[in-house]
Amino acid sequence: MNHPDQLSREYAAILPALKDHGYRADVKASIADERFILVVSGKPTTRIYRDGGWVRDDGARGSTPADLLSFYKHEHYTEALKHWTNKDWRGIARDLLIDNGVRMGAILSAVFEGAHLDVEYRPLSGPVETIRFNRVQRKTEDMLNRMRQANMADQLSEAA
Model pLDDT, residue 1: 43
Q: What is the pLDDT of residues 16-55, one digit of tens each?
A: 999 888 888 888 887 777 888 888 888 898 999 988 899 9
Residue 4 has pLDDT above 70, yes or no: no
- CA gap 158, 67 in Å, rounded: 8
Specify the length of the chain in residues: 160
Given 3-state DSSP classes, what are the helix, strand and coil percentages for the chain, each rounded to the nearest 5? Answer: 45, 25, 30
CA distances from 51 to 35, 37, 65, 129 (A): 9, 14, 11, 44
Name the pTM for this structure: 0.83
Domain boundaries, the chain: 6-63, 72-159
Per-residue pLDDT at 160 exceeds 60: no
